[in-house]
Structure formats: C-alpha cells, structure tokens
Amino acid sequence: MNLLTALRAHRIVAIVRGDDADGALRTVLTLAEEHIPLIEVSLSGRDALDVIRRARAELGPAAPLGAGTVLTAQDARAAHDAGADFIVTPAVCEGITAARELRLPVLAGVMTPTDIVEARRLGADALKIFPAAQAGGPEYLRALRGPFPGEPFVPVGGVDAEAARLHLAQGAVAVGVGSPLIGDAADGGDIGGLRARARVFLDAVAVDTAGRAEAGR
C-alpha cells in the first residue's frame, strides 16, 4: 500500500488497543463499517497478533491494516506474518528498519527535530508526533513545520475531535486517534457509542471542496 497517499486521503488513523481480543476485533470491523479504513492494532493489546490475523481474514487482502507499538525487528516480522500491511512505531527504533526490509511502509514515532531527521533517514514514510498533547498540541506542530515544511506529520496522543480539526488546520496530513474514538469498545464495551464517535471524528476531519480542513477556513 501507499501509506502516505492513504493518510492524505482518509486523514485519520484509528488506534485499537484493548484487553479483550474479541472486543478489539469487533472494534476493527465496526470502524471499517463506519468508513474509517486506516486502522492500527497495537501490539500492546491482548492477543494483538491474533486480532490482526482475524481482522485480515474478515476484511480481505485489500483493506489497510496496521500494527502499532512495533519496537523490535521481531515485532515487525510477527506483524507482517499476521497480515499487517503497514507498521507504526512509538519511537525511532529498529522496528523501522526491519519493516522497511520487509517492504512495509512505516509511520514512525518522533518528538524532536533530531528524531525527525533520523526517522526519515531510516526510511519512514510519515512521522507520528507522539505524544502530541503533551508536546504542545497544534502549536508544537506549527513550530515543527517551520524547519520541516514539507514533512508528513501525523499527531497522535490525546487527540480529540476538536484537536483533530486544529492539527489538520496547521498542516498535519492526518491524525491518529485512540481512546477518544475507541472508548471502551476494544475492552468489550459499547459498540453503539463507538459508531457515534466515529461519525463525529469523520465530520472533524472532513475537507471542503478546496481540500482544506473545515476548521482551517
């Protein structure tokens, strides 16, 4: 898959991390039904590799499906074997180089300018500013875009619907959203609430006919 094209098209990555594997699988399938196709299953969740395998079988080979919290080469290989077709890391780590060796695109976790330069040197396709809220939110993104105006940034961490609008208005190519979207669904909780939140976030990341975030006009 072309990860950067997909990020620009869909503008949101849903991050599924849960303590209930069946609940996590239901969450992935519900997000796909609600037209949030870029979905990352964090390896820190319960039985995450099995969730990825089962989700791949349900969604088919063409659906984007990522593995997150990939730190090591072993993580990257296991995610690839389970059916993930993109990789997300929380930091600049060997998961990036291993994923690139497997020809998997990478959304690499960065915080500092040094991280940005190193992640791109290692072959990262896009840059996950993490944790975005603690780093300073949209204002930190605006500051980074000064020396790095063309880099594809994806803020992740504490991004609610309003923060999503603000980050996109500051030039993020997409946002990554975990608990503000998922709630308790991946722990076996409310799927109806997940559907409602998915629609709120889809509205938040919608673009007008000029291709600008609604919040950026």
Sheet bearing 12-16, strands edge to edge: 153-155, 126-129, 106-110, 86-88, 66-68, 39-42, 12-16, 175-177
Give the DSSP letter of residue 188.
Answer: T
Please state at what angle helix 137-144 crosses helix 161-169, rounded to 10 degrees: 20
Pairing label, strands 39-42, 66-68: parallel
Q: Which amino acid is at 195?
A: R
> Which residues participate in catalysis according to the annotation?
40, 128
Contact 3, 105 (CB under 8 A): yes
- The Cβ of residue 153 has, within 10 Å, a number of other Cβ atoms equal to 25
